[in-house]
């Protein structure tokens, strides 16, 4: 099974010139830009290459532009590298890119759909009562408690994106958001308002969600070729729940991005590749976990690293060595919770000599552990942790390696 996941960015990753280098080097980019322009009846390529940042940032423009460039990057990835992913995940709008690349939605339909999504989202708050703000330096529980204290039916506010540890986005009525920021400033948090036209992923989008569901119901959805992580559940789409349900809920519910990435860790993913403009998700990954190597494919020159299989292997080995070092300590010093002393003794005692040897090899900077030796040492750690019945994330951590 592949240990690679592909990630797709959402709004905030748009930039003037996005997709131009792909256009200059790959016929598939020309084809997809043309198809996108036909679908929404305006020149999307011209907007991306020559438009103003103000026009490109408009929600109804940014959404089809970002989806187009992400799907182009995916097609280039499959054409030039071809390693099928274990999972796909997209941040907010990026979930649509993931669904297209998983074969759930056709590209033509998705472009029309996200254009309409952008229009509905833009019109959801005509009086500009809502806003969004990024906030960092605070624990999630604390922030959620403050949101609950401040939020009312008339002026709702909530955590809209859980992007990384102590890095969130809040969304809702402007007065409530201002009050939340005022209260959190005493905790030495940092904040910045986000230039958007509505309070996305909040209860204030309920009417927009109902309107958008009508649009969603008009399209056909196929079975996914690859598991797609839902923003709403931080887990793959379940077969007994419709795509329409997931995408409707996404309009009002938070983006559980950090949880989604930790799901990938727990299910054996060791590399992620962000497909699209900028490196927003790569940057977030470094704040979420050190157990995954992040890459970006935002321009053709990125293929140099992605096709360097030896360099990528070396990066994976470096991470596995670091994790092995942590697991050795866990296996050696953790308390034994196994009440069956005979079973424990028979299982663990013969392994301690091997574990001690592995520890010496890991700590010896002059000794280069081979991949086989790392695998053997990991198996020893796994056996000891299981035998000790340690009530920790030990087994999940090993599975992730």
pLDDT tens readout for residues 51-82 = 999 999 999 999 999 999 999 999 999 999 99
Predicted local distance difference test score (pLDDT) of residue 400: 40
Quick one: which of 198, 149, 189 has its CA closest to 11?
198
User: Of 122, 201, 279, 382, which is the active-site residue?
Assistant: 201
Strands 271-275 and 293-297: parallel
State the sign of the Cα–Cα–Cα–Cα dihedral 196, 201, 207, 209.
positive
> pLDDT tens digit string along 283-306?
999 899 988 999 999 999 999 999
Quick one: which of 164, 137, 136, 141 has its CA closest to 290?
164
Taking the whole predicted model, whether its pTM rises above 0.85 is answered as yes
- Asked if pLDDT for residue 392 goes beyond 80, the answer is no
Please name the residue that has the structure tokens 């390529």. Answer: 45
User: Of 13, 37, 70, 92, which is the active-site residue?
Assistant: 92
Task: Tell me the CA distances in angstroms from 82 to 4, 73, 105, 278, 353, one per residue in order.
Answer: 11, 12, 20, 22, 42
DSSP letter at 335 equals P
Active-site residue 92, yes or no? Answer: yes
- Asked if pLDDT for residue 2 goes beyond 80, the answer is no
Residues in CB range of 104: below 8 A, 6 or more apart: 221, 222, 223, 224, 228, 243
Express the helix, strand and coil content of the chain in percent, nearest 5 each: 55, 10, 30
Residue 142: band (very low, low, confident or very high) from pLDDT cuts 50, 70, 90: very high
Q: How many residues does the chain have?
A: 401
Strands 167-173 and 4-8: unpaired
Average pLDDT, the chain: 92
Helices 341-363 and 309-333: crossing angle in degrees, nearest 10, is 130
Predicted local distance difference test score (pLDDT) of residue 1: 55
């Amino acid at each position: 099974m592949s240990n690679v996941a592909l990630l797709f960015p959402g709004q905030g990753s748009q930039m003037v010139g996005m997709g131009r280098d792909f256009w200059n080097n790959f016929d598939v980019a020309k084809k997809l830009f043309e198809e996108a322009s036909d679908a929404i009846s305006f020149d999307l390529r011209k907007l991306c290459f020559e438009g103003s940042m103000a026009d490109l940032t408009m929600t109804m423009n940014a959404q089809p532009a970002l989806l187009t460039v992400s799907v182009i990057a995916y097609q280039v990835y499959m054409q030039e590298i071809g390693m099928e992913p274990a999972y796909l995940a997209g941040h907010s709008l990026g979930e649509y890119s993931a669904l297209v690349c998983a074969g759930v939605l056709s590209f033509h339909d998705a472009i029309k759909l996200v254009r309409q999504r952008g229009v509905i989202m833009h019109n959801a708050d005509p009086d500009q009562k809502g806003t969004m703000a990024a906030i960092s330096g605070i624990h999630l529980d604390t922030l959620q408690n403050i949101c609950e204290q401040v939020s009312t039916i008339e002026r709702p506010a909530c955590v809209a994106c859980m992007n990384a540890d102590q890095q969130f986005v809040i969304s809702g009525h402007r007065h409530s958001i201002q009050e939340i920021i005022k209260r959190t400033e005493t905790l030495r948090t940092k904040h910045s308002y986000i230039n958007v036209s509505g309070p996305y992923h909040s209860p204030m989008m309920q009417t927009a969600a109902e309107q958008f569901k009508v649009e969603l119901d008009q399209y056909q959805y196929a079975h996914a070729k690859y598991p797609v992580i839902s923003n709403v559940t931080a887990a793959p789409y379940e077969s007994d729940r419709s795509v329409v349900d997931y995408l409707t809920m996404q309009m009002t519910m938070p983006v559980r991005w950090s949880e989604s990435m930790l799901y990938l860790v727990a299910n054996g993913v060791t590399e992620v590749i962000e497909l699209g403009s900028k490196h927003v998700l790569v940057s977030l990954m470094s704040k979420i976990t050190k157990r995954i190597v992040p890459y970006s494919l935002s321009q053709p020159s990125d293929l140099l690293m992605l096709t360097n299989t030896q360099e990528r292997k070396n990066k994976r080995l470096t991470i596995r060595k670091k994790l092995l070092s942590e697991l050795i300590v866990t296996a050696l010093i953790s308390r034994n919770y196994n009440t069956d002393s005979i079973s424990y003794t028979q299982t663990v005692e013969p392994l301690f000599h091997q574990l001690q040897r592995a520890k010496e090899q890991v700590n010896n900077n002059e000794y280069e552990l081979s991949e086989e030796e790392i695998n053997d040492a990991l198996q020893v750690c796994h056996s000891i942790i299981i035998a000790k019945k340690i009530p920790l994330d030990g087994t999940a951590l090993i599975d992730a390696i």
